[in-house]
């Protein structure tokens, strides 16, 4: 079935509203438009049905009446009103926005098939309820587009949450969690299960493990999947050395750890970075005087 396309950018808001209300029964198209090419090749004939689309959204079915070649001088007020405009100038502005005001113009007449559209809609709802066919297959049965089928399914609440075509059903949530609790990184789990990292992350989300939780866990694991979080370095141990007037560098050297580890423990103890900086300045001044 051929489609007759309109856009709000070309029509304008008023003409687009009239098109939605099925008050537009004529359109002016250029030679390069797909519907004109189809009509010139005699694919749809007089009396055949067309699907009217606005911004790629279906509005209903219309029956093709006739098409003829016109020029700008031959267009009058009746043509403008059948196209959804109040004046010929409004029609001219729309043609300029379309970009073919000076090219050969084709006047296409049609009328709406309200009763048939409603009948096909009822048939579609029955197919959505009774059949497990895809939207493309249902669209072929009712003689409409896949977009219209999806739109009606949304309206009546019959949308289908289908799994992707390449869904890895062999990779279950339990299987991913088993490796996850063995302190394996997401990339290592994906390599073990021969799948993509995205698949592993989706299964973890299904298990209720958030993205932030996975991130904090990965920060405690190095690139080999081994824990590098220093559980032996406690906040109390760092505070004890801190209050003995040792610098952060000396504390890290004493505990054989990184200075960032020391700063993190101090931060957990409520000691801010600015307080550390002022304390370090006092220690340097004291050493100079000593």
Q: Output the domain CATH number for residue 57.
A: 3.10.400.10
Cross-strand bridge partners of residue 60: 52
Does 167 fall in a domain? no
Q: What is the mean pLDDT of the chain?
A: 81
Please tell me the distance from the alpha carbon of residue 121 to that of residue 143, in angstroms, as a whole number: 11
Give the rounded percent of residues in the chain with a pLDDT score beyond 70: 88
203 shares a domain with 280: no
Give the pLDDT confidence of 34-60 residue by residue, as tens digits. Answer: 888 887 777 667 777 888 888 888 888
Q: How confident is the model at residue 117 (pLDDT cuts 50, 70, 90)?
A: very low
Q: How confident is the model at residue 161 (pLDDT cuts 50, 70, 90)?
A: low
Please tell me the distance from the alpha carbon of residue 64 to that of residue 239, in angstroms, as a whole number: 85
Does 141 fall in a domain? yes
Does 166 fall in a domain? no
Does 163 fall in a domain? no
Does 284 fall in a domain? yes
Cross-strand bridge partners of residue 108: 27, 67
131 shares a domain with 108: no
Stretch 88-107: mean pLDDT = 79
Please tell me the distance from the alpha carbon of residue 23 to that of residue 11, in angstroms, as a whole number: 13
249 shares a domain with 280: yes
Per the model's pLDDT, the better-predicted residue between 251 and 215 turns out to be 251
**pLDDT tops 80 at residue 260:** yes
**pLDDT tops 50 at residue 30:** yes
Q: How confident is the model at residue 223 (pLDDT cuts 50, 70, 90)?
A: very low
* Number of domain units in the chain: 4
Out of 97-101, 103-107, 162-166, 248-252, which region has the weakest mean confidence (pLDDT)? 162-166
Please tell me the distance from the alpha carbon of residue 235 to that of residue 251, in angstroms, as a whole number: 12
Q: Which domain holds residue 183?
A: 173-219
Does 229 fall in a domain? no
| pLDDT at residue 228 in the model | 56
pTM of the model: 0.41
Answer for the pair 276, 266: CB distance below 8 angstroms, yes or no: yes
Stretch 194-223: mean pLDDT = 83
Stretch 140-160: mean pLDDT = 77
Answer for the pair 258, 252: CB distance below 8 angstroms, yes or no: yes
Does 244 fall in a domain? yes
Please tell me the distance from the alpha carbon of residue 35 to that of residue 30, in angstroms, as a whole number: 9
6 shares a domain with 98: yes
Answer for the pair 146, 154: CB distance below 8 angstroms, yes or no: no
Please tell me the distance from the alpha carbon of residue 24 to that of residue 209, in angstroms, as a whole number: 54
82 shares a domain with 13: yes
Q: How confident is the model at residue 176 (pLDDT cuts 50, 70, 90)?
A: very high
**pLDDT tops 50 at residue 225:** no
């Amino acid at each position: 079935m051929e489609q007759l396309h309109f856009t709000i950018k070309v029509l304008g808001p008023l003409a687009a509203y009239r098109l939605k209300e099925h008050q537009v029964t004529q359109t002016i198209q250029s030679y390069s438009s797909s519907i004109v090419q189809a009509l010139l090749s005699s694919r749809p004939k007089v009396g055949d049905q067309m699907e009217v689309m606005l911004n790629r959204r279906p509005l209903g079915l219309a029956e093709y009446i006739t098409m003829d070649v016109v020029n700008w001088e031959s267009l009058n007020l009746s043509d403008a009103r059948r196209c959804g405009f109040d004046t010929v100038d409004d029609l001219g502005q729309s043609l300029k926005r379309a970009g073919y005001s000076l090219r050969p113009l084709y006047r296409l007449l049609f009328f709406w098939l309200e009763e048939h559209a409603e009948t096909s809609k009822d048939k579609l709802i029955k197919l959505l309820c009774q059949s497990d066919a895809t939207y493309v297959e249902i669209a072929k049965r009712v003689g409409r587009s896949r977009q219209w089928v999806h739109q009606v399914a949304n309206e009546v609440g019959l949308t289908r949450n289908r799994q992707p075509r390449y869904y890895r059903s062999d990779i279950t949530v339990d299987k991913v969690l088993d490796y996850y609790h063995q302190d394996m990184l997401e990339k290592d789990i994906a390599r073990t299960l021969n799948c993509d990292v995205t698949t592993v992350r989706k299964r973890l989300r299904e298990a209720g493990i958030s993205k932030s939780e996975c991130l904090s866990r990965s920060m405690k694991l190095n690139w080999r999947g081994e824990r590098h979080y220093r559980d032996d370095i406690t906040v109390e141990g760092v505070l004890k050395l801190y209050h003995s007037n040792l610098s952060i560098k000396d504390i890290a050297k004493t505990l054989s750890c990184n200075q960032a580890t020391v700063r993190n423990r101090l931060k957990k103890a409520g000691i801010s970075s600015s307080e550390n900086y002022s304390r370090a300045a006092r220690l340097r001044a004291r050493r100079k005087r000593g």
